Structure 1
């Protein structure tokens, strides 16, 4: 029965992926201007993808020998709904759609200078997003723009774009591609840590990008780059990581300050597919925070595991719930600063309170504490 249901799930995902109208590189052509009331977001990109022939500021699913850098300015429409991307059609409408108003290829020196440029007389804060499996370049750029716009943070959003095939059937190739990109993400984080930025470098890895993120932090620790690790606030959203592999990664990484945050959803169908493709090996992004063994393990490892299953999502696979958290960031930050929530250094297992207030827990994101210290 389990095999049968897994095969049905696989067939369904393949069918839907084939039928989906996915955005291509044309959506990143800088042919539009902002509409009245629209917001613009500047997204910086570091990528191991190969440049498109004849279009050096666009990138393919092929693997490059060296990292490329770019800057995209995206206009977010006045009627934007938090957590969503209003995709442009053949004729982009800045009043209704996300549109690209500028794109530019950068060399490494220009990239370093721009991401560390003082803003309002102060060093900038930095956030790095590592996208997941089955994601093309356009989707990754627009997702970074959406999260940055929803969070409303005066910081520098940086997308690390690894060469995903952008296909549901490219799972094995994508696993090789994230492995290929470990050194380059390590190099990016090392670069950012030595620049004059403020606060922790927020590092968010989604899905298979979560494996790349955890593996990169592990590599930093193994090579003695503890000063870089100390600058990081690591968040893994629906991480596509074998539970035993994750345990071994944590053994090397050790406790972080603030603690590593794991956002999980036991009903994540995309990770269910990953488990099927991995001989039913349990994925970290589907951990059950009600399991006493998980509660004990989170305390021992000094991490936060937060069940976000209560968040609404338009994603039928329930794999992208984390994007809705960006819009709640200002509320969470206010609660943390006012003392309404517990310290971000609190560890344990939690269930997200979807109304954004602490009900039975002092933890800023949690409505119910399952196990904490």
Structure 2
């Protein structure tokens, strides 16, 4: 299966050159400004990218042009050396920031009531891919108007899973620093904190650290979603035991046919991954209620890759990222429990149903 995923991931990926700013604009294109915090080491010439080397935190702001024909959930990328602003995601501006500049930039942008969101990517990601992914999420989910990417030093290679697990551990203190900065900025509403795949483990470990340090007020600043979390189920329950219930409840987006998590399970001795749990499991809803989180099956969302590991990005395009008890798409299921998302009914008032009811239970 690992070989199959490797073959399936052999399409051309945007490289460091894609981060070199291109002047110009396409009619109908949208600009998205993405703030980046990364502990990757710089790789290559100035104004290019970062590799998998491990370094201290650096900050940037990048402006990305989203093409006029953009399809929600997708990242348009032309496999040519020429950058076509009419068809591709293109960086049009970059500026380096120090920590104070990062803080001041966020503060100035949320001062008018804008909302902030932090995305932590998973394994096998380059910085370029992560930047474009956050731009896509921001373009598709305009409820988050100040997008922040935290990028840890992934090797960006399918076969280097174990190395990425070390790299994501390396990044814990740096994510804690970034979240502390954001949590100290006055802004309206909660800050969305989303972790995908291995990035979900990083999010949980960082929040667990905050709890052990007694930083309840900081934890309360965030509304947390874990997408396809690559976390051992037993480890997750230990993390929850320390973290405790969140308000609104922690949201976990799952799909039992996630092939990438099946590979992860094989690589970790057959240990079940949280992101691939089956909502048909009778005890799941009970455990979710006991532990104070909500698990949502998003299997009905079409996956755009063979690994079926990217459904979150399509889900975010259908529903606002905010999941607060009032005003968000999960408003009607603000409590903890197990639920099923119906993508065919995404436009209706109640696209979520209780898992047991959706599966023929009572």
TM-score normalized by the length of structure 1: 0.90
Structure 1: stretches of 5+ with no match in the other structure: 1-8
Residues 245, 154 of structure 1: alpha-carbon distance in 2 compared, 3 angstrom cutoff: closer
CA contact (8 A) 1:258 1:344 kept: no
Is 1:220 the counterpart of 2:210? The answer is yes
1:210 aligns with 2:210: no
**Alignment partner of 2:118: what SS?**
strand
Residues 5-58 of structure 1: CA deviation (Å, up to 9, x unaligned): xxxx122123333x3211111111102422010101000000010112432662
Partner of 2:149: 159
Alignment-derived partner of residue 134 in structure 2: 144
Pick from 67, 73, 82 the counterpart of residue 91 of structure 1. 82
Task: Tell me how far apart the structure 2 counterparts of residues 204 and 21 of structure 1 sit (CA, whole Å).
Answer: 26
Distance 1:170 1:252, change over 3 A: same
Partner of 1:72: 62
Separation of aligned partners in 1, 2:310 and 2:150:
18
Counterpart position of 1:366: 352
Kindly report which structure 2 residues correspond to 1:123-142, keeping only aligned pairs within 5 A, or say none.
Answer: 123-142=113-132
- Given the alignment of the two structures, is residue 263 of structure 1 paired with residue 261 of structure 2, yes or no? no
Q: Is the 8 A contact 2:14 2:77 kept in 1?
A: yes
Distance in 2 (alpha carbons) for counterparts of 1:334 and 1:180 = 31
Match of 1:345 in 2: 334
Structure 2: distance between partners of 1:47 and 1:358: 36
Match of 2:191 among 201, 206, 215: 201
CA contact (8 A) 2:173 2:206 kept: yes
The separation in 1 between residues aligned to 2:158 and 2:324, in whole angstroms, is 39
In the alignment, does 2:26 pair up with 1:35?
A: yes
6, 10, 13: which one aligns with 2:2 = 10
Question: 1 CA distance for matches of 2:214 and 2:326?
Answer: 32
CA contact (8 A) 1:57 1:104 kept: no
Hey, what's the Cα distance between the residues in 1 that align with 2:7 and 2:242?
40
Task: Figure out how many residues of one structure are paired with residues of the other and give that number.
Answer: 357
Deviations 1:337-371 (A, max 9, x none): 39x96445311001101134598xx8x55144438
The residue aligned with 2:306 is 316
**Which of the pair has the greater relative contact order for Cα pairs under 8 Å at 6+ separation?**
2
Measure, in 2, the Cα distance between the counterparts of 1:154 and 1:276: 36
What is the match of residue 103 of structure 2? 112
Alpha-carbon distance in 1 for matches of 2:295, 2:347: 16
- Name which of structure 1's ranges 40-49 and 153-162 shifts more when overlaid on structure 2: 153-162
Shift of the 93–61 alpha-carbon distance from structure 1 to 2, 3 Å rule, reads same
Contact map agreement 1:332 1:356 (CA 8 A) in 2:
no
Structure-2 change in CA distance of 1:334 and 1:263 (3 Å): closer
1:354 equivalent in structure 2: 343
Cα pair distance change 1:156/1:301, threshold 3 Å = same
Report how far residue 230 of structure 1 moved.
0.7
Retained in 1: the 8 A contact 2:8–2:306?
no
What are the within-5 Å matches in structure 2 for residues 54-65 of structure 1? 54-55=45-46, 58-64=49-55
Give secondary structure in 2 for the equivalent of 1:157: strand
Distance (whole Å) between structure 1 residues aligned to residue 322 and residue 345 of structure 2: 7
Whether 1:303 aligns to 2:293 is yes
CA distance in 2, matches of 1:62, 1:122: 37
Farther-moved stretch of structure 1 (169-178 vs 83-92)? 83-92
Q: 1:341 to 1:148 in 2, by over 3 A?
A: closer
RMSD between superposed Cα atoms in Å? 2.3
